[in-house]
Copies of this chain bind each other. A is one copy, B any other.
Amino acid sequence: MRVMVTGGAGFIGSHLIDRLVARGDSVVAFDNLSSGQLEFIQAHIDNGKVTHVQGDVTDFESVLSSMHGIDCVFHLAANPDIRLGTKITDTDLNQGTIATYNIVEAMRRCDVKRIAFASSSVVYGENAPLPTPENHGPCMPISLYGASKQAGEGLISSWVGTFGLQAWIFRFANIIGTRGTHGVIFDFIHKLKADPSRLEVLGNGLQEKSYMEVEDCVDGILHVMEQSNDPLNLYNLGSHDTASVRRIAEIVVEETQCKDASIEYTGGDRGWAGDIPKAMLGIDKMLSTGFDVRFNSEDAIRHTARALIQEIGFKQEMNK
């Protein structure tokens, strides 16, 4: 099968490509390398299994010219920085909503029929019951990133209803793991690298969310796509529990061996305007397909912290 992965050189995209290559797919990795890194997929490129297209999903012509002959699109590309929406308001509109329009419209024109889309738990907004099932409503996102994910879902479902697309929409928990380029663990390690004596935490640390390890995530995507075949398939992907930001800070301090670091909280019940203090996805539907995660939240966090400390080169820095 010939597949396109948007954001293919990025955090989740590159892990997904590992699996797609392993199952024998031919892959177009569409990525502008704004946060992705070619080295994540370089081995596959060298082996001729993956072609990198240096393109931007906001550029319709570029998307269109790469779409010919594709059997299935995995649309993962997006602005990775949720907080950015509090300062710049058109990033998620352009890189989320309009980009997704470009993808499905290019698919329509090239008669490409299957899409998997990386949506997010943040579409549920706040005050949803926890754990939140797929049929929760109304979904009222409070971040601009969440609004763009919801808009992307709606575009895809309308292309399913109007033009006969088949789609898998995945609402992700917080995905963490190696090759991370953003997120709370990544941020904490960088902060401690800059100043091992203190770690500033946005909010009061009581924010509590569900974390999923990235290889669990991509395995879940492919498993669910094999097990479901409706015109539109909607699945939460997450783990069985949550962890607090306070606990993440403690684990990162432990793993970086910054034992004397003082953890300082900026206060307030959320990290920034549009942050959701508590989130946990209901995963019964995912489990019903026969898929389960290897890691729960805290294990995934420790596993990720150790890996990122290696990748970021924290210890080498400490030993200087």
**Residues of A that sit less than 8 Å from B by CB:** 85-86, 89-90, 93, 97-98, 101, 105, 108, 123, 125-126, 134-144, 146-148, 150-151, 153-155, 157-158, 160-163, 232, 234, 273-274
Q: Are A154 and B151 in contact (CB under 8 A)?
A: yes
Q: Which residues of B sit under 8 angstroms from A150, Cβ to Cβ? A: 150-151, 154
State the copy count for this chain.
Answer: 2
Residues of B within 8 A of A148 (CB): 154
Contact A105 B125 (CB under 8 A): no
The listed residue (B139, B151, B232) touching A97 by CB distance below 8 A is: B151
Query: Contact at A138–B141, with CB atoms within 8 Å?
Result: no
Residue of B with least CB distance to A161: B142
Does A85 lie within 8 Å of B158, measured CB to CB?
A: yes
> A153 to chain B: which residues have CB within 8 Å?
140
Q: A137-B138, A151-B151 are in contact. Are A158 and B93 (CB under 8 A)?
A: no
Shortest CB–CB separation between residue A138 and chain B, in angstroms?
6
CA distance in complex: A146, B232 (Å): 16
Interface centre among A123, A134, A148, A150 (most CB of B within 10 A): A150
CB-CB under 8 A for A93 and B86, given A137-B139, A161-B274, A163-B273: no
Query: A93: shortest Cβ distance to chain B, in Å?
Result: 5
Return chain B residues, CB-CB under 8 Å to A160.
Answer: 140, 142
- Beyond the given pairs A90-B105, A139-B139, A144-B158, 13 more chain A to chain B contacts, judged by CB atoms under 8 angstroms and listed by A's residue number, are A85-B162, A93-B101, A97-B151, A98-B98, A125-B157, A136-B137, A141-B154, A141-B161, A142-B162, A146-B158, A147-B154, A151-B154, A161-B273
Chain B residues near A140 (CB-CB < 8 A): 153-154, 157, 160-161, 232, 234
A130 CB to closest chain B CB (Å) equals 15
A-B contact pairs, 21 of them (CB 8 A): A85-B158, A90-B105, A97-B97, A123-B154, A125-B157, A136-B137, A137-B139, A139-B154, A140-B232, A141-B154, A142-B160, A142-B162, A147-B151, A147-B155, A147-B157, A147-B158, A148-B154, A150-B154, A151-B151, A151-B154, A161-B273
